[in-house]
Amino acid sequence: MVAGYYYNITFVQLGLIDLGTRLVGMSETVVSMWMGALAVCTLLVALATGVAMDRRGWSTDLRTKLRILFGVVLLQFLLTLVAPTIRTTPAFGAWIVGASIGLGVGFPVSFSLAIDLVPVPDRGIVAAAITAIAYFGANAYPLEWSIDVFSGLMLAAMLPGLLILGAIASGRIDPIEGLLDELSGQYHEFGTGRFCRPTSVRTKSLAFAVPLVLMFGVFFVDSLGFLRIIDTPALLLSSWQSPELSTRLLIAGAHVAGAVMAGVIYVNFSLERIFLWTFALFALTHVIYTSDLRMAEFFPTLADPGSSPLNPMLYAVAVSFYTTLNFALWPDLATAETIGTHAAIGVGVAGWLATFSSTALALYFQAADLTLLSHLNVVQALSLLLVFGLAVGLYGRRMAAAAREGRPT
């Protein structure tokens, strides 16, 4: 999961922009449209995969899932190998289709491994560990955001994983087979998620739809804001792409702290509480970003380099919060029979569709020549609306419950 997520946040999200703009020669707008296409294709492939997994019983068959995963990693290895050689738009488009098949098949399968490998009470902590390691690696290690650099690193990192998965998938190594025999029955114990007791959460129910909408909101807000932040050299060079190791380490440390906090809160509090914290952190982060920009507008000398790392650190904490939640939530909203569909809809709609929509909106903002402050103002408004909406929703639910209790019989 760590490797997969690291691949996603570095190679797919950042490497593709470099590949499209620098090597293929497309404009940033065209690359963003291709990335939107990648998101939609991934969602469609994921939905088909998730439904097929549940209907055909692959969700509860550990060996089948590992074989599919081997195929996915092999495909991604080949795609990563050829990526730096792409020079034409049709080749870039073909690469996008291939990548969306890999991602779309890969993430429902990898999320479904939780029912075989992670006990329900440990999911918050395991999700926190995945988030912390992936983000720490992505932020602390000073990589240039170019497809060649990402490709080289990914190939080196994927090769051992590919060999191990190949050995597991072959079914010919006795000690591994023994271990798989032991693990393959664990879904009976780990399969029913935290929020599926005593009754399982149905796909067409509010209990599934509400977290889905909230996660869509948080992915959308994050993506919409971050797209503009990484497009602003002054903000980027003083944070995620800072030449100072100490700044990057501070951000990486904030990611780890945020993940640990989210893990602890996920395990000890209700789902509403962690959603409230996530939205509150995002709202606060964007309030600070926009306040700083207003201040800079007011006092132009503020635009001096050497600004405080507080903003990206708080941003990192908020991102780690929802990423941890994303890893733990979908398996916990599913049973062994629904994990494929729920993970596909959850990650697909909340993650990929939100990314697609926010990219489209960001492009519209770009075409409308929206200033940085105006852009982040929209993001701030959305994040404040999410906090307020959730708080009102929770209060309304309690009010309704109180009214039901007080109703004369």
Partner 1 sequence: MNPTEAIPLLIVVLLLVSIGGGEVERMDVTFAGDHDVEAIDDVHVVAGGTTTVPSNASVAGDVYLIGGSIEVHGTVEGDLTVLAGNLTVGSAGTVTGTVEQYGGAVSIAEGATIDDLVQFDVPVASNTPARQAAALLLQFLALGLVGVVLVRRRPSLLENVGDAIVGHPLVSGVVGSLAAVTLLVLFVYMAFTIVLIPVSIVGLIAEGLIVVYGQVAIGYLVGHRLPIGRGDLATVAGIGVLVLFLEVLGVLPVIGAVVQLALVVVGFGAVVNTYFGLARFEPASIPSGASP
> What minimum distance in Å lies between the beta carbon of 257 and partner 1?
8
Rounded Cα distance, 193 and 208, in Å: 12
Query: Given the complex with partner 1, which of 183 and 361 has the nearer CB atom?
Result: 183
- Structure tokens of 154? 């990914």
Tokens of 91: 């080749």
CB of 139 to partner 1, least distance (A): 20
Rule CB under 8 A: say whether 291 interacts with partner 1. yes
Which range binds partner 1 by CB under 8 A, 15-23, 35-43, 50-58, 288-296?
288-296
The CA-based angle 19-363-242, given to 5 degrees, is: 55
Q: CB 287 → partner 1: shortest distance, Å?
A: 6
Shortest reach from residue 43's CB to partner 1, in Å = 30
- Rounded CA gap, 319 and 345, in Å? 21
If one asks whether residue 377 binds partner 1 (CB under 8 A), the answer comes out as no
Residue of 198, 233, 243, 408 interacting with partner 1 (CB under 8 A): 198
Can you say whether the dihedral through the CA atoms of 32, 151, 352, 311 is positive or negative? Answer: negative
Residues 307-326 that bind partner 1 (CB under 8 A): 307-308, 310, 314
User: d(Cα 231, Cα 250) in Å, to the nearest integer?
Assistant: 21
Q: Of these, 154, 265, 293, 384, which contacts partner 1 (CB under 8 A)?
A: 265
Q: Which is nearer to partner 1, 45 or 376 (CB)?
A: 376
Asked if 269 touches partner 1 (CB under 8 A), the answer is yes
Among 26, 101, 103, 120, binds partner 1 (CB under 8 A): 120
Alpha carbon distance 74, 148 (integer Å): 19
Interface with partner 1 in residues 40-59 (CB under 8 A): none
Determine whether 2 is exposed, middle or buried from the number of CB atoms within 10 Å of its CB (0-12, 13-18, 19+).
middle
CB of 256 to partner 1, least distance (A): 13
For residue 166, give every residue at least 6 positions away whose Cβ sits within 8 Å of its Cβ, in sequence order, or none: 70
Q: Binder to partner 1 among 51, 267, 363, 385 (CB under 8 A)?
A: 267
Q: Segment near partner 1 (CB under 8 A), from 39-47, 154-162, 191-199, 383-391?
A: 191-199
Buried b (16+ CB within 10 A) or exposed e, 279-307: bbbbbbbbebbbebbeebeeeeeeeeeeb
What's the rounded Cα separation, in Å, for the pair 325 and 125?
A: 10
Length of the chain: 409
Return the residue matching tokens 């800079």.
296
- 194 part of the interface to partner 1, by CB under 8 A: yes
| Dihedral angle computed from the Cα positions of residues 283, 143, 250 and 131, in that order, rounded to the nearest 10 degrees | 60
DSSP annotation of 238: T
Using the rule CB under 8 A, is 243 a contact of partner 1?
no
Of 19 and 293, which CB lies nearer to partner 1 in the complex structure?
Answer: 293
Q: How many CB atoms lie within 10 A of CB 56?
A: 11
Q: List the one residue from 68, 196, 235, 293 that touches partner 1 (CB under 8 A).
A: 196
**Coil/strand/helix, residue 242:** coil
Q: Does 188 bind partner 1 (CB under 8 A)?
A: yes
Residue 44 or 260: which CB sits closer to partner 1?
260
Can residue 192 be called a binding residue for partner 1 (CB under 8 A)?
yes
- The residue written with tokens 């890893």 in the block is 327
SS3 of residue 300 by DSSP = helix
Number of residues that bind partner 1 (CB under 8 A): 39
* 45, 83, 281, 386: which one binds partner 1 (CB under 8 A): 281
Nearest alpha-carbon partner for 318 in 261, 269, 394 = 261
Give least dist CB 126 to partner 1, A: 13
CB of 177 to partner 1, least distance (A): 24
Least distance from partner 1 to the Cβ atom of residue 188, Å: 5
Q: Which of 243, 306, 406, 408 binds partner 1 (CB under 8 A)?
A: 306
3-state secondary structure 151-220: HHHHHHHHHHHHHHHHHHHHCCCHHHHHHHHHHCCCHHHHCCCHHHCCCCCCCCCHHHHHHHHHHHHHHH
Least Å distance, CB 335 to partner 1, is: 7
DSSP state of 230: T
Contact footprint for partner 1 (CB under 8 A): 119-121, 188-189, 191-192, 194, 196-198, 260-261, 264-265, 267-270, 277, 280-281, 284, 287-288, 291-292, 295, 298-299, 301-302, 304, 306-308, 310, 314, 335
